[in-house]
Amino acid sequence: MIKQAVIVAGGLGSRFGNRTKLMPKGFIEIDGVAMVERSVQKLIAAGIEEIIIGTGHCSEYYDELAEKYHVIKTVRNDNYMNTSSMGTLAVCVPYIKGDFILLESDLIYDAVGLKVLQNEERDNVILASGKSNSHDEVYLAADENFILTNVSKDKSIIPDPAGELVGITKISKNCLDKMMAYYNSDPALIKLDYEHALKQVSLDGEPVYVHKVEYYAWTEIDDESMLDRALTQIWPRIKENEELQSIRREVLLNPGPSTTTDSVKYAQVVADICPRELEFGNLMEEVATGLTEVCADPKDYISVMFGCSGTGADEAMVSSCVPPDGKLLVVDNGSYGARLAKIASVYNIDMDVFKSSTYEPIDIKALEEQMKSKKYTTFAIVYHETTTGLMNDLATICPMAKKYDMTTICDIVSAYGGMPIDLGKLGIDFATSTSNKHIGGMAGVGFVVCKRDELLKQKDWPMRNYYLNLYDQYKYFLETKQTRFTPPVQTFYALRQAIIETKVETVEKRYQRFTACWEILVKALDEIGLKMLVNRKYQSHFITAILIPETPKYSFNALHDYAKSFGFTIYPGKLGNIDTFRIANMGDIKPEEMTHFTCVLRDYMHSIGVC
């Protein structure tokens, strides 16, 4: 897959007159969004991780856009007045690492064009369309093998074109080097446009293919009349196509799997591939690094991945990380802590359980007494108890475990990716999570983020497990770039996209979004008169356990079905004899959706006389 895109956006846009005197053309809005911003969104959705924008005229607009989208890097073509698109591409060259997609800045287009290029096997491919009747066509001539032979705006030179240039092209590094060599070969080429460099390179033996999509919906916008045509003829087609492709939205308010974006859903639709191919090995390696970066420094930590749910990752960690003669201390203050203890007992691991309230903070002093009482090798705890929404204070607890020389193994499943976490700072050696919670992927990949030094200690330990053996999985992948057993192939593609989208949003901003949703929920609960199980001081912003109202008219099923009819899925929660229902903030949820949900909740509670 191609990971980089370059947008050449140096131009003056002089054909627009006053409108683009103080603003680059790409910032002309279509349906309320600047052309170039919409292009950036489409590139991200198509799996592009880095967008280099070559700027010039009014470059500050692009610098501002780069602040909003962290994937953007701007490079200014200081000589934009005297050069053209090739001059702007030239300033971007030092940042181009491999194959990339080159785009013009003044385009509106159907995102399917990016998919066409992402699916291309051939190295250099120009996306072309049938007749656009735009009155500003760039015609492409090609031979019988669809290899580009000429480019011209003059129809008499290319009477029977192979297609029209769209302005979206897949280019290999090799081709780029040749384009640059040509551009630099003669000072008279200073005002060269990139398509002419492509033509030259193609004629010189580096084939550039023309891939025509006959009825492709796109247009370049160079002047007022083109803008008018774009708004009345092209944009409605693009919009309709996109609406046809959008998938019915269900907002999952259950504690995972979480709501995913359409781009994550579509990322699973890829060519079949044997997971033992190097290409897939590279993808898994990239995903592993991306997963590590979310919560730790990849210099010291490494992610080991399995095809399994989050509990599979917990089982891999617990059954792999306690030394053969070790002793484990587990904190149990909710179902997930209890699950860690259960796993240890199934593997006959020598263990003590420190029990604590499911809705009140851990008594730190008592825990320290317990740590001191025996020689434990390993300490296990859950960061965020998804049963109740209770956060455990790992910043205090984990360093304490270090003080008593324990290896710390943490289930951070429902905190990972939802809030800033630094395993190194917290002193956590192993941490588990899954592809389908805050990170926003599909269910199917469980992983353990491991401190490398600690993982290497397991090298000669007798295996207590097989499929889930952490060291074996790590070593095999290190040596072969393969997992020992069949991985969930398509889930990995979705996870790769989810990681990109996490980086684009940033974990800090994601936490702010969840916090905004949580505040909307808590305020509504106060107004309705519903009580929460955990004091808001100790609550995460990810899960809220709500005590059911004390009326016999309440029925979880009725509430569930009512919410479901509006596209919201909620989840029950029973803690001993305390009955709750739970609302999660996870994945691609938006504050306005939470507001809508609170209205639905209020309506239901009103109907049973609670408010």
Ligand X SMILES: *Cc1c(COP(=O)(O)O)cnc(C)c1O
> Can you give the binding site for ligand X, defined by CB under 6 A?
255-256, 309-311, 314, 336, 382, 386, 411, 413-414, 434
Nearest-approach distance from CB 258 to ligand X, in angstroms? 10
| Alpha helix segments (H runs only) across 446-579 | 452-456, 470-480, 489-505, 507-528, 556-564
* CA distances in angstroms from 19 to 13, 15, 130, listed in the order given: 9, 9, 30
Nearest-approach distance from CB 385 to ligand X, in angstroms? 7
Give buried/exposed letters for 314-332 (b at 16+ CB in 10 A, else e): bbbbbbbbbeeebbbbbbb
Q: How far apart (Å, rounded) are the C-alpha atoms in residues 337 and 241?
A: 47
Nearest-approach distance from CB 384 to ligand X, in angstroms? 6
CB-wise, 47 or 310, nearer to ligand X? Answer: 310
- Long-range contact pairs involving 24-28 (C-beta distance under 8 Å, separation at least 24): 24/55, 24/57, 24/58, 24/59, 24/61, 24/62, 24/105, 25/105, 25/106, 25/221, 25/222, 26/61, 26/62, 26/105, 26/106, 27/61, 28/106, 28/221, 28/227
CB-wise, 309 or 483, nearer to ligand X? Answer: 309
Nearest-approach distance from CB 335 to ligand X, in angstroms? 8
CB atoms near residue 403 (< 10 Å): 12
Nearest-approach distance from CB 434 to ligand X, in angstroms? 5
CB-wise, 222 or 314, nearer to ligand X? Answer: 314
CB atoms near residue 265 (< 10 Å): 14
**Cα angle: 192, vertex 198, 203; to 5 degrees:** 115
Task: Return the closest-CA partner of residue 9 out of 221, 219, 210, 171.
Answer: 221
Nearest-approach distance from CB 101 to ligand X, in angstroms? 35
Amino acid, single-letter form, for residue 204: D
The secondary structure of 55-103 as a DSSP string is E-TTTHHHHHHHHH-TTEEEEE-TTTTT--HHHHHHHHGGG--S-EEEE
CA 570 to chain centre: 24
CB-wise, 414 or 483, nearer to ligand X? Answer: 414
CB-wise, 311 or 515, nearer to ligand X? Answer: 311
Q: Which residue is nearest to ligand X (CB)?
A: 310
Nearest-approach distance from CB 588 to ligand X, in angstroms? 17
Nearest-approach distance from CB 585 to ligand X, in angstroms? 13
CB-wise, 195 or 385, nearer to ligand X? Answer: 385
Nearest-approach distance from CB 349 to ligand X, in angstroms? 18
Nearest-approach distance from CB 386 to ligand X, in angstroms? 3
Nearest-approach distance from CB 382 to ligand X, in angstroms? 5
Q: Are 107 and 212 in contact (CB under 8 A)?
A: no
Which residues have CB under 8 Å from 128's CB, separation 6+?
140, 162, 163, 164, 165, 166, 210, 211, 212, 213
Beta strands in 175-292 (DSSP E): 209-213, 218-220, 251-252
CB-wise, 330 or 382, nearer to ligand X? Answer: 382
Task: Return the closest-CA partner of residue 450 out of 486, 403, 407.
Answer: 407
CB-wise, 118 or 311, nearer to ligand X? Answer: 311
Q: Are 388 and 543 in contact (CB under 8 A)?
A: yes
Nearest-approach distance from CB 45 to ligand X, in angstroms? 26
CB-wise, 170 or 339, nearer to ligand X? Answer: 339
Q: How far apart (Å, rounded) are the C-alpha atoms in residues 8 and 351?
A: 61
CB-wise, 168 or 343, nearer to ligand X? Answer: 343
CB-wise, 407 or 434, nearer to ligand X? Answer: 434
CB-wise, 88 or 491, nearer to ligand X? Answer: 491
Which residues have CB under 8 Å from 431's CB, separation 6+?
295, 296, 383, 409, 410, 411, 412, 416, 423, 448, 449
| Pair of tokens at residue 473 | 């999985």
Residue whose token pair is 């749910």? 309
Q: Are 235 and 30 in contact (CB under 8 A)?
A: yes
* CA distances in angstroms from 282 to 272, 492, 609, listed in the order given: 16, 11, 58
Nearest-approach distance from CB 3 to ligand X, in angstroms? 29
| Alpha helix segments (H runs only) across 506-588 | 507-528, 556-564
CB-wise, 312 or 549, nearer to ligand X? Answer: 312
Which residues have CB under 8 Å from 282's CB, separation 6+?
481
CB-wise, 168 or 287, nearer to ligand X? Answer: 287
Nearest-approach distance from CB 383 to ligand X, in angstroms? 8
